[in-house]
Structures are given as C-alpha cells and as structure tokens.
Amino acid sequence: MSASVLSVSLVDLDVHPYEDFQGIDSSRDEAAQDTGSKQSLVKCENAYCDWRGAITVEPGSTKRETSSDGVISHIEFYGRDLACWSQLDGGGVTLWSDAEHEANEVYPVNTAVTSAVFNHKALFTAKGEPMYAYDGVKWEEVEQRSGAQPAYMVACQRRLFTARMVGNETQILATRVDTYDVFPDDEADDETSVLKAADIEIGNIIGTADGIKGLGVLEKNRLAVFTNDVTLIYKVHPDYTGWTLEDKANINVGTISHNTIQQVGTDLYFCARDGVHSLKRSDANGVTIYSVPMSEKITEIYRGLLQRVSNHEMIEANYSQDHRQYNIYFPVTDSVSYRLTLSLNPVRGQDHKWSTGSFLNARCESSLGGVTLLGTPGGVYKKHMIEEEAAHYPIAEIVTPVLWHGKINENKSTNSLIVQAAGSGVVTIRAVDDTNRDMATLSFEITEDSVDDSFMDVPLSQQYTRKFEHQYLGVQFYITLAPTGPGPMRITGFAVGVKKED
C-alpha cells in the first residue's frame, strides 16, 4: 500500500500505511512492533492473515444433521462425507456416528480417544480400554486373544501399528498384514510368514526411562515413534524382516499428544512442550530427517494455552488441505476451548502466519475430500469454504501493536483514517493512545458491490476514509469484523494521515 494507492489528495499530510499483515507475534513487546510493511499483530482471533497479507475472517459453519449434541472429543471419517466420533456423556465416553449408531459409555470420562482407518473400518481406542471398530452399520468391540489395549494406533504399510499398552510403555505392536485384530501373541508359535504380526521394542534404543507418547507416518513408509523427549524413525514394509531404524534421523524433541501428529504434505507436524515442530527430509542431501521449530513467534501464547489444559493428551490438531491450515485445539473445560492456527504460505520460502480462535469453542477437527468437520460442545459442525453460505459466522477481533507513525518521542497530529476492505459486514475500529486513553470509535459498513477480486496476487478492495483528528505519541487499534454473508470479508490495509510539521 502506498499514498497513491490510498488516493490521498491532501498535500499537507504524511500518510503512514500499514499492510502485508504477518499474523500474531508475542516474541516482542507490543510497543516495539511498528514496521508498517509486513506488520505483525498483537491479536488475531477468528481471523487469519492469508498468504497475500490480508486479514481475512474465518469461514462460517453449519450444524451437521444428527441427534448428537453432546461434547465431541474426537472425530474420524469412515467414508466419503461419513463420520463417527466420541462424545462425552454423563457417565463416560460414548462412540457415535452420523448414521445414529452408538456404543454407549464404553470409555471412562476424560479419556483421550485416538483413532485410525484400516480395512475399511474406523477403529477407536483408549489406553487400557478395548478397541472398537465401526463399519457404517454397527459398533463392535475388537476381540483378540492377546488382550492388547493400546493408547495409540496408526495405519502404515498394510499394518496397524499400536503402542502404549498398560504395563509396557516402550513396545510397538504391529498387526498381521491386512488385519486389525491379530497381534503377536495371537500368532501360532510355529508361524514363519514374514507377514505375521510383529513388535518393536525401543526401551534400550532411547536409553532412558521415557515411554512412547505417539505414532505418526512420514512419507508413507516411515513410522515415526514419539516419546516425551526424542523421536525415532523406522522404515517399515509389509515384510517385518525388512524393518530398519533410520540412522540419518537425529530428532531430539518429542510430543505432548498423539492426536496432534498430522501429515502436512511430505512433512509431519506435531506439538511438543516448547511449541510446534515439523519433521522433514533435508532438501540439501535428500537423506537427513530433522525437526524444524515452527512457533518461535508465539512461544508465550503457546505455553500459556498449554498451562490451561490439565491433560495434554486431550489436545488435538488437524491439517486441512483445502484451507491450508494446521489447527491445534486446547480444551480448557467441557465448554471452553481455544485454537491456534498456522496458515501455510503456498509461496516457497515465505513465512507462515499464526492466529487464534474460539469460534463455537471447537475442540477437535477432521478433514477428508474437501469436507472439514468440527467437534464442539454442542455437536458436530461442518466448516464451510470461505465463499459458501453458512448458518453461523465468527466475529473476528484484531489488535494492532502500538503504532508510532515514525519517531517514538514525537507528538503526532492526525487528520484521517483510511481503511481498505472487501466483503460484506461491519468493521468497527476503536482507537486508544499509548496511555490507554480512548480516542474514537469508528464504524464502516462494508459492501461487496463493484469489487472485482479475480486477481490472485492483488486483492482489490473498497476504500473508506473517516475523520480522525487527534494528537498522541502512539496509537493502538482494536478492530472488530462482523460478517453478514458468504465471501471473504477482509482488511487489506489501512493508513493514518498525519499532518506535516511546518
């Protein structure tokens, strides 16, 4: 944004534009973040900064047609636009589906439930509890002679890998190829097939008293085994004799929750104690696998949310390919949940951007084939694409850092505030000075008429100018965006007209 773009004709003004928004940043004090171009934010709730730098309100949602209206703790697709989930009831955790099939209170209250899809069935499990399978017709307990009751499971290379059985925190059990109920103890003693059930013991490899905290799949044939402090990578095949430990992976970070481990393209994202990390293969040599920290800018925000969740294994995450977002859900209580969102930039080498959310108090999410479902305290909701009409829309709240328009110790005398915005809704801006004195509250009714947004790299917007005659050293803006319909409602930039000194 520049003065010419803003069409400011008053020659006695210095125009100070703010644009190319970079999402929230808690790594610096809010009084030291005025950069103008590539401007960070103190708060960006129920909105995100897209890859072009515009502040965009999140899409709306509509409740899914089902009689389930309890607290949804975990959700999984078992078919195209067919879902099942775990629901907190008064006496325990009930397994439910959108076909109205249920397994009533099969797990204790406040149990972390995990799932996987294997052999055309959705499998659910919890530590020390029986596994359940759902095929679209009924829920049934998985019967097995070995009695394995794992906490985590993941499908890889035609096997179901499970871990964290009661009394054995360092063993991984892999089912027989193409089965989900035949474990090593279920095999005959004289079985010689290379496709039989097998196990991996990592206790002596990690060399500490740590235990397995999660499993993930990297590059389709790598099994990532997470502990609290380290991660091991195994190359696996249907033939268990070909399993090998990757010696080119040196990953000294673990996870806090199995349900945060998500495939994002060819990488694997997960939550650790210090923030969000990505496992990826080196572009330089194509061999080394290493971890990349992703959340340095929001470390304080991340740790603050962790502190509010009593059981970290209840924290869940999901990657939506359609929205290009990695969403992390922090359930504080049964009715209150917060979200951290990492919006990925499709331009190689460009920074990704963080935002927060509390819309619907969603606590889990799952995506498949263009459909994204949210689990909330009031049932299951479908998250729409931004151009689709929805029953409920979020209200976004944005807080800028203290803006100095130049020198920090010089008093400014302003004339106008110019906002560039698009979409349908109401923008409300409250301005306070650096001493927290209220100065003005301005409202803009945004309409989508005459805005052609067909240019990928240059989002066009309508421009709104209001009188803003004040004196201050610095100013902070509190912006509320309330959409009234479908389509992207966003702010692409704003500017303050400051009177020139004589």
CATH code where residue 493 lies: 2.60.120.260
- Decide: 215 and 236 in contact? Cβ < 8 Å: no
Q: What is the pLDDT of residue 449?
A: 58
Q: What is the pLDDT of residue 148?
A: 82
Whether 441 is in a domain gets the answer yes
Whole-model pTM: value is 0.94
- Decide: 128 and 190 in contact? Cβ < 8 Å: no
Taking the C-alpha atoms of residue 74 and residue 118, their distance in angstroms, rounded to an integer, is 17
Number of domains in the chain: 1
Residue 209 CB contacts under 8 Å (≥ 6 apart), including other chains: none
Whether 226 is in a domain gets the answer no
- Decide: 396 and 470 in contact? Cβ < 8 Å: no
Whether 471 is in a domain gets the answer yes
**Structural domain harbouring 45:** 3-59+397-499
Whether 475 is in a domain gets the answer yes
Q: What is the pLDDT of residue 91?
A: 86
Whether 428 is in a domain gets the answer yes
Q: What is the pLDDT of residue 461?
A: 59
Taking the C-alpha atoms of residue 37 and residue 17, their distance in angstroms, rounded to an integer, is 8
Sign of CA dihedral 171, 175, 176, 182: positive
Q: What is the pLDDT of residue 457?
A: 46
Whether 137 is in a domain gets the answer no
Q: Is 455 exposed, middle or buried (0-12, 13-18, 19+ CB in 10 A)?
A: exposed
Phi first, then psi, for residue 7 (nearest 5°) are 60, 40
Whether 311 is in a domain gets the answer no
The region that residue 370 occupies, defined by phi over 0 for left and psi between -120 and 50 for alpha, beta otherwise, is left
Whether 379 is in a domain gets the answer no
- Decide: 87 and 106 in contact? Cβ < 8 Å: no
Q: Tell me the average confidence (pLDDT) per consecutive run of 10 residues in the chain, 502 residues long.
A: 41 84 95 91 97 95 91 96 93 94 94 96 96 96 84 97 93 96 93 97 95 96 97 97 94 97 96 97 89 96 97 97 96 97 90 96 97 96 94 97 94 93 94 96 81 45 87 97 90 92 66
Q: What is the pLDDT of residue 350?
A: 84
